[in-house]
Amino acid sequence: MPVYLDHAATTPMADVAIKAMTEQLAKLGNPSSLHVYGRDARKDLEGAREEIAVALDCHPTEIIFTASGTEANNTALKGLYWKGQAVGRNVVVISAIEHHAILDPAQWLKDHEGAEVIEIGVDSNGVIHLDELEDLISRRADEIAVISIMSANNETGVIQPIQKVAELAHSGSIPVHSDAVQSFGKEPLSFSQLGLTAMSVSAHKLGGPIGVGALVLRKGYDVPALLHGGGQERDIRSGTFNAPAIMAFAAAVKETFLDFADRNARVRRLRERLENGILECVPEAYVNGAKVERLPGIVNVTIPGTESETLLLLLDNEGIACSTGSACTAGVQRPSHVLLAMGHGERTARSSIRFSIGATTTESDVDLALHILPAVMERARMANLR
Amino acid sequence: MKLIAAMSGGVDSAVAAARAHEAGHDVIGVHLALSSNPQKYRSGARGCCTIEDSHDARRAADVIGIPFYIWDMAEEFHEGVVENFIAEYAAGRTPNPCLRCNEKIKFEAVLDRARAMGFDGVVTGHYAITREGEMGKTLHRAIDETKDQSYVLSVLTIEQIAGAIFPLGDTTKVDVRKEAKARGLYVANKPDSHDICFIPSGDNASWLHERLGRKVGPIVDQDGEQIGEHKGAYTYTIGQRKGLGLSVPTIDGSPRFVLKVEPMTNTVVVGPREDLAVSRMIGEKTVWCGLAVGPERNRGFVQIRAHGKPLPCTYYFENDALIAELDEPLLGLATGQQMAIYDGDRVVGSATICETQQ
């Protein structure tokens, strides 16, 4: 079996999640129905919602189930923008390193809804410039409809100071959303303590199934819906509840938080083993965001003199699955906007790959990768010199 | 062997990759992204490397069961093929971009990269045959005459041919489509691509006008007398008869043809059909697909177009030039075209025509 080191893309479903999903699939009942079948399904569903609310430290009614993290991001960003726009606020503030599920809806708001989008830059470690944000808020607080800053970056794993962002925004009464898709289950997240207005999470990044996510949205901040219909989820997200996926989501969350600290400490140790091993065999390589706090499982490394698309092909061929973590255009790897924002040139941005470790990764996985890497890097260098 | 299969998203390269995989080679499919700004969909038979094509290639690789990657060769393609195409037209010559693409991209950039990465060669869906012989691996015509692509491969050196694998040379196109269908490849009925892939409109003249301007110049007869006007000499091809818009008729009413394009003076020279006749062509930048030829006279064939007829000739190599003397004169031959020399069905070599003589 090839070694899987791409857990930030998606991670295997937990056994408990598969079990919960399978059991629910066999059950009849639309949770919105009033009869006994509906009541049973509703009971299961609300139990799952409460389970997830505990992990996120939010009120269960603040959870709006969606079909993906992307949907949660779109609902939050567009919804909060429209709310702001209604009272004369048309500025959307995001960071330069957001996932495309924030970058693209922001661009859409600019192109179609009259938004002014302002990107906050990051330093060479990949952490947003808080002073830039503070300055912006001090000048234009009244114009800002929404601030959206991810809680940790998906390519580098670098953790962002979202609590401070929320504090700054609070002074100007500006709603703050955070894309926490990558960090849920990997760093402690307390929705209530962070002081956020909204937060997006996704099930498949922590052992749940693909096709279910959630938007945590503070009470009193109800936003216009993207999907209109049966009025489910506070009328913000209509559509029949995907009970099997939601049950599995809750089961995965429960398991993750049962041994949260140990699990992440183990992942971190494996990450460090991989990281140190890479730096040892390729001394000129460097880890992006190495100096600051990162999620435990992600290592983004620049290997000068190589091209990421060559590295990926050769690693795949040798049975190591990893990625760059950045989106591709028509299948062509583009230099990562995250690394460019951190001050990389196109060349070094194109020489970077991401390994991501998860709960199922073993020491021998890491050692096999380290065993294969030197020869692959040598070949990738040769191919680059051609 | 470890092989890279270049997959365009068409039926030929898909079947070629499938055959190489089935033969037991370790094959990785690679689609070349040749445009930095690809179109979303194919329109008819024109163009390639649209997003739809890369999807088709990926789907074929998945069905075959091989890994698939996209290599960004947009920069190499632009420099080596598109810019060359424009420069050749600007210089009054008629280039063949498919030939340059084989030379500079598929069997240079891709093959070099594949070799550096530890692969042994590149598989393509070209209709041509390679054979191992005394000269090493040599290049030959495909059995399907109507599809034979040995001409556009005649620019490959021995080293390049050594790394080239053409699994379709022994099969007709009809059978390749049948095989694709039997293999469950949905590209089985995808139309063949024609024309120049980077000019999706198919209107080469307008495309060139946009890049080279529309500088008005004279159309003259052989005595140098102006008898018309053109909007850019480079859009005319030797032998062209239509679209000249001449106002002064010939005395006997016979048609006039483009005899010469002179980019330096932006002049197009026209004259009677018989003055188009060429019986000797001289080529530069010769490439040998096997043993080099010397000044001794050899009998063989020369081909000057992708699907042109092989013309009986005597050929030799003298003073750094490849020379072919035709048995029968040929009408309308432009400089910039490639002359490929054949010994029977074997490609001897080729050169770019730089001069023609009556």
In this structure, are B15 and B58 located in the same domain? yes
Judge if B104 and B226 occupy the same domain.
Answer: no
**Side chain identity, residue B300:** G
Q: Indicate yes or no: CB of A313 within 8 angstroms of CB of B51.
A: no
Active site residues of B: 101, 197
Tokens of A132: 């830039």
Q: Are residues B176 and B261 in the same domain?
A: no
Counting residues of chain A whose pLDDT is more than 70, the rounded percentage is 98
pLDDT digits 0-9 by tens, A234-264: 999 999 999 999 999 999 999 999 999 999 9
B112 touches chain A (CB under 8 A): yes
| Position A61 pLDDT exceeds 80 | yes
Decide if B336 is inside a domain: no
**Chain centroid, CA B93 distance in Å:** 14
Interval A311-322: pLDDT, tens = 999 999 999 999
Tell me, what CATH number does B233's domain have?
2.30.30.280
Same domain, A218 and A282: no
Please tell me the least confidently modeled range out of A75-84, A355-364, B28-37, B305-314. Answer: B28-37
Pair A243, A265 in one domain: no
Which three-class secondary structure state does DSSP give residue A201?
strand
Rounded Cα distance between B160 and B151, Å, is 15
Mean pLDDT throughout A214-235?
95
Residue B226 lies in a domain: yes
Buried (b) or exposed (e) across B163-173, using 16+ Cβ within 10 A?
A: bbbbbbbebbb
A163 pLDDT band, cuts 50/70/90, is: very high
* Same-domain status, A171 and A50: yes
**A79 pLDDT higher than 70:** yes
Residues A243 and A274 in one domain: no
Identity (one letter) of the amino acid at A20? A
User: ipTM beyond 0.90?
Assistant: no
pLDDT band at A328 (very low <50, low <70, confident <90, very high): low
CA distance A12 to A7: 8
Q: Look up residue B178 and give its two tokens.
A: 């049948």
pLDDT at residue B72, rounded to an integer: 87
Q: Do A253 and A264 reside in the same domain of the chain?
A: no
Query: Would B282 be classed as within a structural domain?
Result: no
Domain termination residue (choose one: B250, B271, B292): B271
B209 at the A interface (CB within 8 A)? no
Residues B119, B239 within the same domain: no
Looking at the fold, whether B175 and B55 belong to one and the same domain comes out as yes
Indicate whether B94 and B180 sit together in one domain.
Answer: yes
- Note whether B230 and B118 are same-domain residues: no
Assess whether B184 and B89 both reside in one domain: yes
User: Contacts of residue A384 in chain B, CB cutoff 8 Å?
Assistant: 116
Q: Which of A42-51, A358-367, B85-94, B153-162 has the lowest mean pLDDT?
A: B85-94
Catalytic (active-site) positions of A? 328
Query: Do A310 and B67 count as a contact with CB atoms less than 8 A apart?
Result: no
Cα dihedral sign, A226-A230-A234-A237 = negative
DSSP A189: -
A373 CA to chain B: closest CA distance, Å?
A: 14
Residues A313, B28: C-beta atoms closer than 8 Å: yes
Task: Please report whether residue B312 resides in a domain.
Answer: no
Buried b (16+ CB within 10 A) or exposed e, A258-267: eeeeebbebb
Least confident range of A68-72, A326-330, B255-259: A326-330
Which of A257, A275, A307 marks a domain boundary?
A257
**Same domain for B115 and B20:** yes
Q: Are A119 and A96 in contact (CB under 8 A)?
A: yes
- β-pair partners for A116: A91
Picking from A316, A330, A386, the nearest residue to B54 by CB comes out as A330
Q: What is the CATH number of the domain that holds A266?
A: 3.90.1150.10
Residue A378 has pLDDT above 70, yes or no: yes
CA distances in angstroms from B89 to B72, B98, B113, B264, listed in the order given? 26, 15, 30, 12
C-alpha neighbours within 13 Å on the C-beta side of residue B74: 15
- Is B59 touching A (CB cutoff 8 A)? no
Judged by CB atoms closer than 8 Å, whether chains meet at A330 and B33 is answered as yes
Whether residue A317 and residue B28 make contact (CB cut-off 8 A), yes or no, is yes
> With an 8 Å Cβ cutoff, are A386 and B112 in contact?
yes
Q: For chain A, what is the mean pLDDT?
A: 95
Residues of A in contact with B38 (CB under 8 A): 330
Contact A328, A350 (CB under 8 A): no
Which domain, by its residues, includes A216? 15-257
Domain holding B257, by residue range, is 214-271
Which of A310, A318, A332 best probes binding to B when mutated, by most B CB atoms within 10 angstroms? A332
Which pLDDT does position B49 carry in this prediction? Answer: 62
Residue A330 pLDDT grade (very low, low, confident, very high; cuts 50, 70, 90): low
pLDDT of residue B276: 87
Look up the CATH number of the domain holding residue B31: 3.40.50.620
- Token reading at B92: 């009054």
- Confidence at A35, pLDDT banded by 50, 70, 90: very high
The 3 state secondary structure assigned to chain B is CEEEEECCCCHHHHHHHHHHHHCCCEEEEEEEECCCCCCCCCECCECCCCHHHHHHHHHHHHHHCCCEEEEECHHHHHHHHHHHHHHHHHCCCCCCHHHHHHHHHHHHHHHHHHHHCCCCEEECCCCEEEEEECCEEEEEECCCCCCCCCHHHCCCCHHHHHCEECCCCCCCHHHHHHHHHHCCCHHHHCCCCCCCCCCCCCCHHHHHHHHHCCCEEEEECCCCCEEEEEECHHHCCCCCCCCCCCCCCCCCCCCCEEEEEECCCCEEEEECHHHHEEEEEEEEEEEECCCCCCCCCEEEEEECCCCCCCEEEEEEEECCEEEEEEEEEEECCCCCCEEEEEECCEEEEEEEEEEEEC
pLDDT of A167 higher than 50: yes
Of B244, B271, B298, which closes a domain? Answer: B271
Mark whether A341 and A242 lie in a shared domain.
Answer: no
Residues A250 and A312 in one domain: no
CA distance B1 to chain A (A): 14
User: Are residues A36 and A117 part of one domain?
Assistant: yes
B59 in the same domain as B180: yes
Q: Does the distance separating the beta carbons of A383 and B113 come in below 8 Å?
A: yes
Q: Which residues of chain B neighbour A316 with C-beta distances below 8 Å? A: 67
**Six token digits for residue B261:** 């394009």
Specify whether A224 is located in the same domain as A278: no
- Residue range A346-364: mean pLDDT, rounded: 95
Which of A214, A235, A257 is the last residue before a domain boundary?
Answer: A257
B109-137 CB burial, b ≥16 within 10 A, e <16: bbbbbbbbbebebbbbbbbbbbeeeeeeb
Instruction: Give residue B253's region: left, alpha or beta (phi > 0; psi -120 to 50).
Output: left
Q: B-chain residues within 8 Å CB-CB of A382?
A: 116-117
Total domain count for chain A? 2
Could you tell me the two tokens for B316?
């030799």
**Do B330 and B316 form a contact (C-beta atoms < 8 A)?**
no
The pLDDT, as a whole number, for residue B42 is 53
Contacts of B112 in chain A (CB under 8 A): 386
Shortest CA distance from A335: residue in chain B: B72
Chain A CB within 8 Å of residue B58 CB: yes
Among partner residues B72, B109, B116, which is closest to A332 by beta-carbon distance?
B72
Candidates B33, B58, B116; nearest CB to A332: B33
CB contact (8 A) between residue B117 and residue A310? yes
Of residues A77 and B248, more confidence is placed in: A77
pLDDT of residue B40: 60
The domain that holds A187 is classified in CATH as: 3.40.640.10
Check whether residue A249 and residue A279 sit in a common domain: no
Query: Nearest 5 degrees, angle CA B48-CA B53-CA B56?
Result: 150
B69 has a chain A CB within 8 A of its CB: yes
Residues B121 and B223 in one domain: no
Strand A91-95 and strand A144-148: pairing?
parallel
- Alpha carbons B358 and B34: distance in angstroms, whole number: 40
Binary contact (B33, A331; C-beta < 8 A): yes
Residues of chain B with pLDDT under 70: 36-49
CA dist A265 and A42 (Å) reads 36
Q: Where does a domain end: A217, A239, A257?
A: A257
Chain A interface mutation, best of B4, B71, B120, highest count of A Cβ atoms under 10 Å: B71
Chain B: closest CA distance from residue A317 (Å):
8
Same domain, A217 and A284: no
Task: Specify the amino acid at residue A3.
Answer: V
Which of B256, B271, B286 is where one domain is finished?
B271
Question: Which chain A positions have a beta carbon within 8 Å of B60's beta carbon?
Answer: none
Q: Based on the fold, state whether residues A243 and A351 are members of the same structural domain.
A: no
Our count of domains for chain B comes to 2
Q: How far is A315 from chain B (nearest CA, A)?
A: 11
- CB proximity list for B151: less than 8 A, separation 6 or greater: B99, B303, B305, B306, B307, B308, B338, B340
**CB-closest option in B67, B70, B117 to A332:** B70
Residues of A in contact with B70 (CB under 8 A): 309, 328, 330-332
B223 and B115 inside one domain:
no
pLDDT-derived band at A52 (thresholds 50, 70, 90) equals: very high
Residue of A nearest to B109 (CA): A386
Pick the residue from chain A with its C-alpha nearest to B116: A383
